[in-house]
Amino acid sequence: MGTEFAGAIIGLTLLGLWVDWHWKTSPAGVLFGGSLGIVGGGYNFIKQALRLMKTQVPTSKDNEAANGNDRTERP
């Protein structure tokens, strides 16, 4: 996850550097690209972290089933 975050920042900053070089817009492209990389990479990082946390946190039903306290009716 951290590599993807860093890759988004570095990739979009380099794209902004190219924009600055191509259209002579000196720090605007780098600042915009870096900012977009931080926002987009941060969004993706948080989304993946929440999904990972959701799959690893046991629920109370999981705990009851593991302890043999399953409250479902048996025929």
Say if 30 falls within a structural domain.
yes
Domain for residue 45, yes or no?
yes
Say what the pLDDT of residue 57 is: 74
Asked whether residue 75 is assigned to any structural domain, the reply reads no
What's residue 62's pLDDT? Answer: 62
What pLDDT score does 61 carry?
66
Which residues of the chain fall below pLDDT 70?
59-75
Q: Return the C-alpha torsion angle 49, 51, 56, 74, nearest 10.
A: 170
Q: Is residue 65 part of a domain?
A: no
Does residue 13 form part of some domain? yes
Assigned token pair, 60: 């109370």
The range of the structural domain enclosing residue 7 comes to 2-53
Total domains in the chain come to 1
Please give the full DSSP string across 24-72, using - where no structure is assigned: T-TTHHHHHHHHHHHHHHHHHHHHHHHHHHHHHSPPHHHHHHHHT---S
Residue 72 lies in a domain: no
63 belongs to a structural domain: no
Contact 59, 19 (CB under 8 A): no
- pLDDT for the residue 56: 80
